[in-house]
Structure 1
Amino acid sequence: MSGPGARVRVREMTLADCDRVSLIRVRGWQTAYRGLMPQSHLDAMDPAADAGRRRTLFARAPEGTANLVAEDEAGEVVGWACHGPYRDGELRTADAELYALYVDAERFGAGVGRALLEESARRCESAGHARMLLWVLKGNARARRFYERAGFRPDGAEEPFEVEGVAVPEVRYVRALHD
């Protein structure tokens, strides 16, 4: 499966998906964040260690949190998204937040991210959320273009993020879910 016309199926993530999701997430960081944060941090990321953390987070996901995976036509997991109530510090708000969206780097441009994002937005709208927000690294031009094409706009909020003493600022994007 490749190219923009390829089909994916979005479904609920299971505990058995954690290893593959962790590999996609770690490789996603190593690909997308190259040059945006210290290479030593990216090189030290370990999919096996992340999988243990992912299993714990999955098992303890707060109410309203959804983990979705995208499968290709052969049933291989090729992407992951997680969404839930927007977090303002320790408070959960009435808005929704896309916490994470990662796609197997070999599947960029194949519609995997779009399918995951649209299913997350659909579910958040069905749950009664009026808006969906997300945070993206300020320097991640590819991701910012992706979200902008999907109707998200920066709202002016920035948040400091530091990795190994290097500032890696994030910007917040928002999209209305109701017309």
Structure 2
Amino acid sequence: MVQHSGTPPERAFEITGATPDGAEAVLAVKDASWREAYAHLLPAAFLAGGLGDSPARTERWRRFLAPESPGRFALVRFRGRVVGFAGAGPARDDDAPAEEELYTVYVLAEMHGTGAGRAVVERVLADRPASLWVFEDNPRARAFYGKLGFVPDGARHLDEIGGATLPEIRMVRGARGDA
């Protein structure tokens, strides 16, 4: 078990590698995290039922978590249950400011403040320069990424999700050309 400094022992967690058989658990955390984090951004009807469990979605995540995938994924486990995950790998933007991209990080609200988010990001990204995309109106996530050394680089785009148009900003740390 990993214990964040100042975290009571009953809140200890572990970070493990992700494998394709964890796809359902990853999707459960992702969906719950969306409901917790994006209620102010996305329509309630979409969050209530629009995320969808489907064999195709599960299979897509099994491929993401496969050893031959270009991405690296890790899980946060608390008392044996998956409560978070992160994934990173080669940057996907044509104008990527770094070779690596932090693709995804979700940790259930019950684990906020325990160090689980930082630990799972360190597992998949270490201290490598990287970029990421985050909803502009997501102050908690932006503050979390800021603590990890990420800053907005001025890139912005719109994402259509669940009938809403949401601006995203790119954040980077250790970008090419930085001193």
Q: TM-score range by the shorter chain?
A: 0.7 to 0.9
Q: Establish whether residue 9 from structure 1 lines up as the match of residue 18 from structure 2.
A: no
1:67 Cα offset (Å)? 1.1
1:10 Cα offset (Å)? 1.7
Map 1:20-35; keep pairs closer than 5 Å.
20-35=25-40
Q: Establish whether residue 120 from structure 1 lines up as the match of residue 124 from structure 2.
A: yes
Change (3 A) 1:52 1:100: same
**Quick check: 1:11–1:69 contact (8 Å CA) kept in 2?**
yes
Cα RMSD for the two superposed structures: 2.9
* Aligned residue identity for 1:67: F
Runs of 4+ in 1 over 4 A off after TM superposition: 1-4, 91-94
Deviation digits for residues 32-71 of structure 1, max 9, x if unmatched? 11121222221224564343442243349643x1111122
Equivalent residue number for residue 79 of structure 1: 84
Residue 91 of structure 2 aligns to a residue whose secondary structure is strand
Aligned with 1:100 (options 104, 113, 117): 104
Normalising by structure 1, we get a TM-score of: 0.81
Map 1:16-165; keep pairs closer than 5 Å.
16-46=21-51, 48-49=53-54, 50-59=57-66, 62-63=69-70, 65-72=71-78, 74-89=79-94, 95-122=99-126, 125=128, 131-165=129-163
Structure 1 unmatched runs, 5+: 126-130
Residue 41 of structure 2 aligns to a residue whose secondary structure is coil
**Quick check: 1:85–1:92 contact (8 Å CA) kept in 2?**
no
Residue 21 of structure 1 aligns to a residue whose secondary structure is helix
Percent identity reads 34
1:119 Cα offset (Å)? 1.9
Equivalent residue number for residue 128 of structure 1: none
Change (3 A) 1:44 1:105: same
Aligned residues: 170
| Rounded Cα–Cα distance in structure 2 between residues aligned with 1:61 and 1:139 | 34
Normalising by structure 2, we get a TM-score of: 0.81
Deviation digits for residues 12-34 of structure 1, max 9, x if unmatched? 10122211111000011111111
**Quick check: 1:134–1:174 contact (8 Å CA) kept in 2?**
yes
Change (3 A) 1:61 1:135: farther
